[in-house]
Amino acid sequence: MTTARQIIGMIRSHAVGDNDRFLSIAEEIAEEALRAGKNRVAEDIHNLVANVRSNPREAAPSLRPTPLAKPRGELAGLIRVTYPETRLADLVLSADLRRKIGRIVREQREAGALEAHGLAPRKRFLFSGPPGTGKTMTASAIAGELSMPLFTILLDGVINKYMGESAAKLRLIFEAMHHSRGVYFFDEVDALATARGNENDVGEARRVLTSFLQFLEEDTSRSIIIAATNLRTLLDPAIFRRFQGAFAYAKPSADEARVVLRHHLLQFDHDRLDWKEIDGEAAGLSQADLAAAADDSARDAVLDQDGDLTTDLLIRSLRDRRAIHTIEDQ
């Protein structure tokens, strides 16, 4: 089904003359049609898109050649593309972090005003912090707010045991940033810093990291680059100074924890819940744990209690989530 998001995306990309994005949404619709068994529609859209791509001038004078709608060839194993609908408002963040992330989006939206004064929007960022605190979600929200594709780098595909190949793969990704504008997300980038080739080649780790830093430094594309890490060690000055902003994510405050739970329990009457008791059980859990526990308790409420969510149910789900970590830590 064509969604409102896709229609809005097409109108927006038409308005700004972003033909790559326009056509990639059309292809996304075609693929969905194919999955839904509407083969004729899918084929018609594919043919139209192919025609436009092969006759760019005829179809639209401003169309740029060889757009990369979907990573193809070697890139397909290195990048996954999505079009997130996530918004900044979906994130629960400290006031400080919300302001900083909002500023990233605004600099991109108002790039013209900056450029008129010889300035450029910042575009390379490092997010650090514990798992489940919203680093990936923020990358999605930035892409969502800017109607840009989110290109997630598959680092497992990049890191290669053969000497030198990892750097070649990284180069392909940095080249893609030029012809396919988007948010390029290097998740768990610490894998680059700790990557090992075969046992005898401890030098590969260093080389991969060195090339990553070098590509970052040389980058002149209009894409946004976000790297995320759980490790504070990556906040080493050599890495740090390649980014134009570094943001620390943290587990939620008691107030933030409540907001995460409430966001996930909107359809229930949560005024009846004993929030003091819940606060105690929520303490120390990440935003991801809280979101998952809230969803667990919502399912329990619907299936076991006729949609009646109780404090006990929510507390049980929070304890179960905490227990998962206890098992992991053993």
Coil/strand/helix, residue 129 = coil
Please report the DSSP string for 82-115 in residue order: E-----GGG----HHHHHHHHHHHHHHHTHHHHH
Among 17, 77, 131, 280, binds ligand ADP (CB under 6 A): 131
| Interaction between residue 150 and ligand ADP (CB under 6 A) | no
**Distance between alpha carbon 128 and the CA centroid of its chain, in Å?**
14
Q: Cβ-closest residue to Mg ion?
A: 136
Among 23, 173, 195, 291, binds ligand ADP (CB under 6 A): 291
**CB–CB of 189/227 below 8 Å?**
yes
**Should residue 239 be labelled a site residue for ligand ADP when binding is judged by CB under 6 A?**
no
Confirm if 198 and 90 have CB atoms less than 8 A apart.
Answer: no
Contact 64, 19 (CB under 8 A): yes
Determine contact, residues 91/128, Cβ cutoff 8 Å: no
Calpha distance 236→249 (Å, rounded): 17
Instruction: Work out what residue 229 binds among Mg ion, ligand ADP, none; the CB cut-off runs from 5 to 8 Å by kind.
Output: none
Question: Using CB under 6 A, which of 45, 49, 260, 285 touches ligand ADP?
Answer: 260
- Chosen from ligand ADP, Mg ion, none, partner binding at 166 (C-beta under 5 to 8 Å by type): none
Which residue in 78, 79, 137, 209 binds ligand ADP (CB under 6 A)? 137
Q: Does 284 bind ligand ADP (CB under 6 A)?
A: no
Q: Judged by CB under 6 A, does residue 133 bind ligand ADP?
A: yes
Q: Which is nearer to ligand ADP, 85 or 175 (CB)?
A: 85
Per partner kind, with CB cut-offs from 5 to 8 A, the member of ligand ADP, Mg ion, none near residue 291 is: ligand ADP
Q: How far apart are CA 29 and CA 45, in angstroms?
A: 8
Residue 91 binding result from ligand ADP, Mg ion, none, given CB thresholds of 5 to 8 Å by partner type: ligand ADP
Kindly state whether residue 166 participates in binding Mg ion, applying the rule CB under 5 A.
no
Count the residues of the shown chain that bind ligand ADP, applying the rule CB under 6 A: 15
Cβ(289)–Cβ(321) under 8 Å?
Answer: yes
Q: Shortest CA distance to 141 belongs to which of 76, 215, 216, 83?
A: 83
Residue 136 found at the interface with Mg ion (CB under 5 A) = yes
Least distance (Å) from ligand ADP to the CB of residue 226? Answer: 11
Tell whether residue 132 is a contact of ligand ADP (CB under 6 A).
yes
Question: Is residue 172 a contact partner of residue 74, using CB atoms and an 8 Å limit?
Answer: yes
Backbone φ and ψ for 183, nearest 5 degrees, come out as -95, 120
Dist CA 295 CA 299 (whole Å): 6
Q: Pick from 19, 108, 128, 136 the residue near ligand ADP by CB under 6 A.
A: 136
Q: Kindly state whether residue 86 participates in binding Mg ion, applying the rule CB under 5 A.
A: no
The residues near 202 (Cβ < 8 Å, ≥ 6 apart) are 196
Considering only the stretches 131-139, 146-154, 158-166, 274-282, report the one whose residues sit in contact with ligand ADP under the rule CB under 6 A.
131-139
User: Contact positions toward Mg ion, by CB under 5 A?
Assistant: 135-136
User: Contact positions toward ligand ADP, by CB under 6 A?
Assistant: 91-93, 131-137, 249, 260, 287-288, 291
